[in-house]
Amino acid sequence: MLFKHALTLTALSICSASFAQADISARFIEGAPKDRFEITSNSDCLSGPLTVTINLDGSAGVLIFDTTASGAGVEVFQPFELTSGGSLVEQAPSVMDGDKALSIGLSALPKGQTVAFTLDVDGTGGAREITVNGGEIVGASVVLMADGERRSAKFGVNAKAVLANSGCSS
């Protein structure tokens, strides 16, 4: 009987809030006039609190957030707007024009749930600056902070970044 309880406790600890068992994906969708980011959980084990950061530093297109009419961006600008998953957001980001990173504080990110937002992303690397394609976001990253630990994944040419599940049964 003691062995059975030990297995139950082990199973419960595997599905803790620790991101070590998290499985999230971030997707960038180029749009006009607004670009969109979607952060989705594919795990039962991400109960939070947690912070998700989109970091454009290192992107192939030398990307920035273009949130005001004056500043580093080109032509069209769009401020940050939360479009999905608002009930999960504990702290929305303050995004300044020309910023390369934004962080969203979440209470949790349950399996199947998506937090999505729009704003304008511009390239400053010399290509067509007003639109961003999947190849230009390569090298940007999504960073997950939970329980004082950090994990990250890079965006690929498919404009997606995935933090793979590392052992939680979901």
- Strand 50-55, strand 141-146: pairing: antiparallel
CA separation for the pair 128, 96 (Å, rounded): 22
State the pLDDT at residue 85.
Answer: 97
Domains (ranges, CATH) in the chain?
Answer: 17-159 (2.60.40.1170)
45-55 tens-digit pLDDT: 777 799 999 99
Look at the alpha carbons of 148, 164, 113, 141 in this order and tell me if their dihedral is positive or negative: positive
pLDDT of 48: 75
- pLDDT mean across residues, the chain: 80
Lowest mean per-residue pLDDT among 20-29, 77-86, 161-170: 161-170
% the chain with pLDDT above 90? 54
What is the pTM (predicted TM-score) of this model? Answer: 0.81
Which pLDDT value is given to residue 126? 65
